[in-house]
A and B are shown apart, each in its own frame.
Chain A
Amino acid sequence: MMQMSSSSSNRAESDHSGVLGNVGQYLTFNSGGECYALGILAIKEIIEFGNITKIPMLPLFVRGVINLRGAVVPVIDLAARLYGEQLTAGRRTCVVIVELDTEDGKIELGVVVDAVNEVLELSAKDLAAAPNFGSRIRTDFIRQMARIQDRLVMILALERVLSVDEMAGLVALSQEKSASEQVA
């Protein structure tokens, strides 16, 4: 569908300002009826939704894995991860491929969203601190708030939303649960 220019991924290595949630370019998208933004430097590409291989006994937020040009990439359902409700695929549903830095090096993950909107430039005056309470999603998932055309949009703290350690723990839990459920 739409491929980020390779220069953006090159910049990801030299300049982290966008990822850190400061001034820079952001991608806005919808998930579960809410609008969110992500620093563009973490995003590698956006692909069509589909061809996902399911893996048994997983929590709702893991859709499965896809074959991304020979690499097996896990796909996370963002709505399920944020609110616990799995997204119903529609015409504009797509998978945002992001790259995360972890202790064991970079990993790629797919994130299913309802629709992607636009890429926009945010300056310091557009940004505000994250609220301490009152949001629908876990506050530590929000890095900052951005004012976009009189609307407040949450900029996601990707490394927390997609924390591999945390998600792997949840996968393990769900595995044990399904294994014991078989007995019941």
Chain B
Amino acid sequence: MLNMSELVAVFLTEARELVEQLERGVLALEKSPGEVTAEDINAMFRAAHTIKGSAGVVGLDHVVHFTHLVETAFEQLRSNKLVVDRSLSQLLLRCNDHIASLLHCAEVSAEPAANLLQAGDALLNQLRPLLQQSAQSSENDIASPSVGSAKQKSSCHVFLKLSASCFTDGLDPVILVRYLRQHAAVCREYWYAGQVQPLTQIAPAQAETCQLMLDLLMEDIAEATLLEALEFIRQDSLCAIFNHDSPVEAQQLFLDSLESPALAQELKQRWQALGLLKVPVEVSAGTTPSLLPRSETKAENKNQPRQIDQRMMRLPAYKLDTLVNQLGELLIATATLHEHSRQFNNSDLTERVQQVQQLVDDIQGSALQLRMVQIGETFNRFQRVVHDIAAELGKDVHLVIEGADAELDKSMVERISDPLMHLVRNAMDHGLESASERIAAGKSAHGSLLLRAYHDCGSIVIEIRDDGRGINRDKVRQKAISQGLISAGAELTLRQIDELIFEPGFSTADTVSNLSGRGVGMDVVRRNIEALRGTVDISSEPGAGTQFQLRLPLTLAIIDGFMVRVGQSRFVIPLDMVNECIELPADMALDTDAGYLNLRGEVLPFIFLNQMFGLGAAASDRRSIVVVRYGKQSAGLVVDQLLGEFQTVIKPLGKLFQFLQGISGSSILGSGDIALILDIPRLVQIHVQATERQRTTTTI
């Protein structure tokens, strides 16, 4: 059984999602009311309704009290009693934020502060006059907020298939219907019998069997009254209640759950005849009535897989982490077993072990898949951010999202959210101009900001592009000189100038604003991204805009590696970065300073790993070069021996080695030895810096 605090935790997780859903909905409503369907508004109403109802269950009275009016607002939107305009949507957004704040209080188990509650009342006071009179009176109905379910009266459809023993049990359906009729404003009843056999075939013992089915249509009946009335009859009979809150699929789900397909078909036809069947909106539109039965079966097939896909399971993240870790151990153990089994020269054994290894590999692959989430959720959060910042800056900005379905590891998603936020703020503050400036520059008045994600070479690439003024390179240069980052006479390529904005302490903003200009930021962005084994690239065109490109690995847990030997040490190079392996030409077999190689007409700088790592002179005379590529940069690594590909779990080296350069982690081999994983981008960077320094010293 769930105890109360667990229940609250479940509620909070759910409510947070609903709040986000509401936010998205309201933003969509504000942006393009025409595209928002009735079903969308219905979904928003349901979200508000669910928050209120569940909050009542877990005893969060503030939330119930506040959300009630918000719910009413959505209810009136739904019934077109209320028309959405900008002020209303802004108010609804603020209300939504308030719900989030209340939820946050509940999360830290604090009572909401008095000023928060006052703010809430103020919002309600703003909202109340907008709503129609009926809503206000119904608010009094929920004087005791803990009964969240005692919501306003509404219409509903009840289906009953009375149990066979109904009459002998002493339950009289007629009495039930009579009772309901007293409590409902309108009550229509449709009785019908199921498969009644001809009288002659009925055995005396079966004479009292009840075959009746009943459809009841009621207006304005309190839910509690209804449930109370049905309490006894529900125990044995088949009973289903659909009210307007039930999702469209509810009827279909119920029909699918019936044991007899014939009955399901019969009910469907009957409900259709009575006009009770709710059909998913997208299907009913555009199909002619005469074709309805056939198109419905199609819709059924179409909806089926979607229902399976959408059923979600919630579980604590640590359980997944434990599973992935354990599978990692299993992978290592299997590799060890494989290594040992080969010593026995028993082909049968080896084959079996290989089979097991393959399976473990597969399972691990699926386990890692479990941790993959779509980036869309993170992107969607920026709708609101952009909306708010645009309002604050008085700019008109359209956010375009592409590739929201690109997947990456959950832990990754959490950690890129802050850097992304920074880049988006930066683009809006520095990149995009105000509407008047844009028009003066001959551009459309509204700026556009593109967030795009896609997979490339086993990495995920995230682009943040604006069509603003681009980087003012002169200004950047001036600032960098005045801040002592470069010398006045330094000759820099355009790219190098652009890169200056990633220097710690750099800022071009003349005034420090709320959003940016403090000079902390871009360097932090770069550091955070690099800590995730990723890179940030910037490209900018004056007058046309700036693009930031983040390149990140898909997961932090596992790596497809290529193993090499240098001296006695073994190193793993991430396989995604390996382009090719070539033999070191004989005339370069000595440790030279030449450092460059002509690879099919291209200049390939290379690094002697043994020198770099101080591993002593090479023991082998047949050395190889592994050509690695990261982003646009290529380099060759000189190694003693190539040991081949393998997949491995990354074991972080821990806090002690947090500042290690050129090595990103370790991995345990089948033999039990440890191999170090090379951090290629960093390695190349160290090498480039070292050679540049060398060049400057030699020229002096």
Contact = CB atoms under 8 A, between A and B. Distances in A.
Interface of A: 51, 53-57, 62, 65-67, 70-72, 74, 102, 104, 107, 109, 164, 167-169, 171-172, 175-176, 178-180, 182-183
B611 interface: yes
A72 B649 CA distance: 12
A80 B429 CA distance: 53
Interface in B296-330: 329
Interface in B625-658: 651-658
User: Looking at A71, A164, A182, which has the most chain B CB atoms within 10 Å of its CB?
Assistant: A182
Contact of A183 (B658, B660, B697): B697
Contacts of A175: 659-661
Contact of B657 (A54, A67, A171, A183): A171
Contacts of A171: 656-657, 659-660
B690 A179 contact: yes
Contacts of B656: 62, 74, 107, 109, 164, 167-168, 171
Nearest to B566: A56
Given A55-B663, A183-B694, A67 B653 contact: no
Interface of B: 329, 332, 569, 611-615, 651-663, 666, 668, 672-676, 686, 689-691, 693-694, 697
A53 B690 contact: no
A178 B666 CA distance: 21
B652 to A, nearest CB: 8
Given A66-B674, A74-B656, 8 more contacts: A67-B668, A67-B674, A72-B651, A72-B666, A74-B654, A104-B655, A171-B660, A182-B612
Nearest to B608: A182
Given A66-B674, A70-B668, A102-B655, A54 B569 contact: yes
B653 A72 contact: yes
A40 to B, nearest CB: 23
Given A67-B672, A70-B668, A57 B655 contact: no
A92 B38 CA distance: 80
Nearest to B610: A56
Contacts of A167: 656
B614 A65 contact: no
A183 B693 contact: yes
B659 A67 contact: no
Nearest to B611: A182
Nearest to A74: B656
Given A67-B672, A70-B329, A55 B686 contact: no
Contacts of A164: 655-656
A53 B657 contact: no
21 contacts: A53-B569, A53-B666, A55-B676, A56-B612, A56-B613, A56-B614, A56-B663, A57-B613, A57-B614, A67-B668, A74-B653, A74-B657, A167-B656, A168-B658, A169-B659, A171-B659, A171-B660, A172-B659, A175-B659, A179-B686, A183-B691
A62 B615 CA distance: 16
Nearest to B569: A54
Nearest to A169: B659
Contact of A65 (B653, B659, B672): B653
B668 A72 contact: yes
Nearest to A76: B656
B657 A55 contact: yes
B676 A53 contact: yes
B693 A168 contact: no
A175 B683 CA distance: 12
B611 to A, nearest CB: 7
A183 B698 CA distance: 11
B558 to A, nearest CB: 15
Nearest to B612: A182
B673 A168 contact: no
Most buried by A among B615, B654, B663: B654
B661 A57 contact: yes
B690 to A, nearest CB: 5
A96 to B, nearest CB: 16
A177 B59 CA distance: 61
A70 B662 CA distance: 23
B270 to A, nearest CB: 63
Nearest to B663: A55
Contacts of B686: 179
Contacts of A70: 329, 332, 668
Contacts of A176: 661
Contacts of A65: 653, 666, 674
A172 B651 CA distance: 20
A72 B569 CA distance: 16
A44 to B, nearest CB: 16
Nearest to B687: A182
B613 to A, nearest CB: 3
Contacts of B662: 56-57
B658 A53 contact: no
Contact of A107 (B654, B674, B675): B654
Which residue among B656, B668, B672 has the maximum number of chain A CB atoms within 10 Å of its CB? Answer: B656
A169 B658 CA distance: 9
Contacts of A53: 569, 666, 673-676
Nearest to A104: B655
A168 to B, nearest CB: 5
Q: Which of B657, B660, B662, B663: most chain A CB closer than 10 A?
A: B657
Contacts of A104: 655
Nearest to B609: A56
Nearest to A178: B614
B37 to A, nearest CB: 49
User: Which among A56, A65, A107, A171 has the greatest number of chain B C-beta atoms within 10 A?
Assistant: A56
Contacts of B329: 70
Given A55-B663, A56-B614, A182-B612, A72 B674 contact: yes
B560 to A, nearest CB: 19
Contacts of A109: 656
A159 to B, nearest CB: 14
B312 to A, nearest CB: 31
Closest 6 CB pairs of A and B: A56-B613, A172-B659, A53-B674, A72-B651, A175-B661, A183-B694
